[in-house]
Amino acid sequence: MNCETCGATLSLEDMTRPNCPYCQNVLKHHARAAEHAALVNKVLSDRIGAQYPGMPPGQMPQIGYGFGAPMNPGFQQFQEQQFQGAMKRAGWITAVSILVPIVLLLAIGGGMVLWMLVSR
């Protein structure tokens, strides 16, 4: 492939860099990839922001602009926080759903025993 600005022949290694090694202009496919990444980041921000309205904008996951860049680990951290919060809530719900019936049974049983003792 040739550089569209200076016409230099680019090797495969040259094409993995964002700029032409000869004229230093941004290569067209890297510029297009950056546009796509910006669009994906906008869509992710909108979708995740709608799904998790309390999430601060700085923690929204971002797709990198580099060649083959991995996703930001912030999204994995966010998922871990959501999971930990859900487990904590589930623990409280389980404890309450077990303790409330036990307390009610003891109160009703105690009331019945007291009623039987008083009514004699």
- What pLDDT, on a 0 to 100 scale, did the predictor assign at position 101? 95
Chain segment 52-66, per-residue pLDDT in tens: 777 776 777 666 655
> Rounded distance, CA 51 to CA 109, Å?
46
Query: What pTM was computed for the model?
Result: 0.43
Q: What is the pLDDT of residues 41-97, one digit of tens each?
A: 888 888 877 777 777 767 776 666 554 444 455 667 777 888 888 999 999 999 999
41 exposure class (CB count in 10 Å sphere: 0-12, 13-18, 19+): middle
